[in-house]
Amino acid sequence: MTLPLAFARRTLLAAGLATTLLAAAPVQAQGTAIKFQLDWRFEGPSAFFLLPVAQGQFKAEKLDVTIDAGNGSGNAVNRVASGTYDMGFADLAALMEFHANNPTAPNKPVAVMMVYNNTPAAVFSLKKTGIKTPADLAGKKLGAPVFDAGRRAFPIFQKANGIGAVNWISMDPPLRETMLVKGDVDAITGFYFTSLLNLEARGIKPEDVAVQLYPQHGVKLYGNAIIVGEEFLKKNPDAVKAFLRAFAKGAKAVIADPAAATAVVKARDGIVNAAMEERRLRLAIDSAVATPDARAEGFGAIAGPRLALMASQVADAYATKGRINPDAVWNGGFLPSAAERDIFAIKRK
């Protein structure tokens, strides 16, 4: 009786161990979980993050990444700082502002990879108004939401181009382009690839729009970067490196075939107009990602002097509580190699 009983006990223990291992296996396969916050709703440029999820680049790095839509860079920074999200995508100026205004915050996010090497911010007007140059904006009514990146940075654009005083009209984002079309404002600020297509959707032909891109008028601000919370960065440095490696692979796939990349966005949000979002993605690539400055500095990287100048400009324009330490907002030590980040050698469809 003793041997069969002992055998039965061993069998039960083995079965229990096997059950435990089987239950744990899916968790191990998923790898490190990362909650990622976008700066805005799902649009063409979201493909840079949605595609490596769909194609498995993150999974291959043993990462379980979830991507959520956002409602502004400021909120993306706040949500990463609060720990609600581990990583995010946000305008570097918004990150700088958070650092300067919250010097004692325990989990200040840090930028680890530049995506929009040049800010997409621009001033838009209808050509029929006669606004052709930055100087023509003096005394005009400009419209934008109060949190719009172009509006926040307008004092830098204004100073660089010697523009006189302007009058600001605030509105919710969906009304911005409508108010310009109706003539309620003379010009608006917004992201190039957002407002241009929004105006077109409201019946305005591209050739009837005058666009003044900030980078083409003396304002070399960086745009959106991948950010990560301090605590997550300290506890999961290898996961952050893996995320950026996977992102770089996905970025190459997006550059190679924007149409296929946009299909991934459409799969995530069925109400988007695939044709329009493909155009938006291509505009974003040309105006903010694959720019001459990005080619000179390397995709994902930054230039120290340029970053320092931006820190000073943002502190002045945003009237921050303190000055901005560029070394505190940027950490390039987690970037993949230059070869892994070389999106410029990719043949585009």
How many structural domains does the chain have? Answer: 2
CA atoms within 13 A on the CB side of 81: 22
pLDDT at position 30: 60
CATH number at residue 138: 3.40.190.10
Mean model confidence pLDDT for the chain: 92
Q: Are residues 204 and 237 in the same domain?
A: no
What are the φ and ψ backbone dihedral angles of 125, each rounded to 5 degrees?
A: -145, 165
Domain of 148 in residue numbering reads as: 121-217
Q: Are residues 175 and 37 in the same domain?
A: no
Pick the range with the lowest mean pLDDT from 11-25, 31-45, 65-79, 281-295: 11-25
Yes or no: say if 50 and 33 are a contact pair by the CB < 8 Å rule.
Answer: no
| Cα pseudo-dihedral 84, 85, 88, 94, rounded to 10 | 20
Q: Are residues 110 and 249 in the same domain?
A: yes
Q: What is the pLDDT of residues 139-175, one digit of tens each?
A: 999 999 999 999 999 999 999 999 999 999 999 999 9
- Residue 301 inside a domain? The answer is yes
pLDDT at position 203: 96
Q: Are residues 206 and 127 in the same domain?
A: yes
Q: Are residues 164 and 290 in the same domain?
A: no
Q: What is the pLDDT of residues 297-340, one digit of tens each?
A: 999 999 999 999 999 999 999 999 999 999 999 999 999 999 99
- Residue 11 inside a domain? The answer is no
pLDDT at position 135: 97
pTM: 0.90
Q: What is the pLDDT of residues 89-140, one digit of tens each?
A: 999 999 999 999 999 999 999 999 999 999 999 999 999 999 999 999 999 9
Choose one of 217, 245, 262: the last residue of a domain.
Answer: 217
Q: Are residues 127 and 110 in the same domain?
A: no
Q: Are residues 212 and 301 in the same domain?
A: no
Choose one of 217, 245, 273: the last residue of a domain.
Answer: 217
Q: Are residues 226 and 194 in the same domain?
A: no
